[in-house]
Structure 1
């Protein structure tokens, strides 16, 4: 009985020991691993929880190094990880890393620049997009350059100051900047975007001048305007080109145009003019200076509208005499002699609107004032003698009056001439009708004033208000 009890106890002890050993062995095989899932699919087990984050950072760093300005986003959040305990399970770090790399995506949060619905480029961030657009605007508005020097005459013997104040700077087209997810490799180079917006990404067209060529002939042959030729080749002076010269005939077509409205003010010296006092007691041809006179000062303010720097509209909004000119007084013998000017000029058209003023235009000098009026009759600005009344390819039908006091005036692009060479005209006499003959882009009057040295002088310094 006792012996049977001892055997039972031994059996229980053996079973306990076997169970204990089994538990110890199984406990040694139970491990904590980290299960990785992507979009609900199990990818495997990894040994450390931070491996997933580490792999994502490595991939993002590679892309960020290649595209330092890009704002990167990834799909890291789609990878799920959880801690689990498993018997006889080994981590699969290498396998899971491969699976991770195949599914891990790094994208850039880019910004598109659209012009009238067309995507011109995608840049790395909003600041870059705004900087590009500002650079385009800055090409045509230099706000910090308020004082410049202009001249009264072509030779710049008398210099006065002018000021430019920008009232508005805006794009003509509709411009939209919006966010988009994109491959960083597809981000645009900012300089290339600027070139595209300015129309500088096109292939250049060049031409070598041959015998018999002229600017207007080349313009006609290549179907480009003469303005394009002058603008692209500012070295051309007085239409002179030589055999072998290289001309740039590229027509730039910017996708984005800048419209500026500016208030332009200049102070100009007003010539004193000449006041003739006739003395019947003095012999014909004799004269005497009674007073040398004194020049005055005039302040003129224009409102100018430009698109891409090209003047499309210009109006005189204010003109004031700051100092009146005192005319030179000359006592002249004999009776009043027809055809001698006073030196004081009236507008040659009624109610004029200035469309282009005297000075530099697109790299060339504009030697007069262009103006239009609903009344197309052209009048002599002062008394004088007509020394030319005919046609040339540049001025078209035009008249030149010598006022026999050191000044001449020119009236260009007429549709009809109502005077002839040798005629003596008085101030206000009709001499022609406004037109668009010669080198002209529309009906207007091109008006010039020249002094005794044949210098072209700003007409607005002479014209009566």
Structure 2
């Protein structure tokens, strides 16, 4: 019995201490004695035997309900400090195993629980028996090098922790918010980032500002932001080309100036760590349409040749080349074709001759104004007159068999500085046939 307890000194009920110790029986006894003394003082006239019975009943009434609230338990001390009661040794061992498993899982196997853990049988109020989670908190917080904290894990690895979960969540929110341009942006971590309350090394517990800086410096954490943006963009105008026979060939005249339009564009933009990685157009609407630029390209020949000839007739047979034939010089090529086959100007030029002669029959001479002239003979019909300005490829006659001709064909000559030259220098007529 505690020497400090004395019936003579007892003036009020004793405060029963927790955890329960060896003083528990004496403390209960003094409380019962105090209550019975109060009752005894109030019933002085009751016979002694009856008073004793009454006191016994009162003591039982006081003790039984009081004792009913106490349960057998195991008192746990670590390094001599009481940390709580466990319902069984197994619950304590389970808490220890869970702590160590958590340390191992998150790469903190170097940390271990104190070996100075004592367990003793005792009694305590039922509400004072700790659950497994409460035991984990109590055991962990009694350690010098580990503690329960709100930790941030990235793909299962602890990056850091704060003592308060609200601080840890605030750190993650601050990091995400730094990459958001607008409050409506959706920011998230690409990696598996979680907040967990865990036993961690005290070295990992830091202030929220230090934890935020640690996350910023961690290259294994990527923040993806998906945002919807609205902007206007220019619609480039298109250029339309039209041909005009009122404008000289190779000249271009702007008939209508172009003007860019304006469109409203809604896009979804994806960024990772502030760098754009994807942009998708969700909607585009035209505010102001673009005005096309219209230019007229002249087709009216100016009579100046390009120097590049085209074959003046199609569907022909190459029957005679530029050569000596029948004892005299054949100054052109003969291209046999049915009467009425279209004949075309080999290049731009001006018609200098369009008439009938005994030898050439109906023939045309075109001056290309670049030192070259072409002659088209033995036609059945002439479609242009002297002075006409001709475009390359323009139909000028119908082939025939007029003049000194032995059959329907086009006789075609090329003159350079008024001297007949071989047309095959300029054109490929194929293989000569008889």
Give TM-score scaled by structure 1 length.
Answer: 0.32
Q: Which has the higher contact order (CA 8 A, sep 6+)?
A: 1
Flag the structure with larger Rg. 2
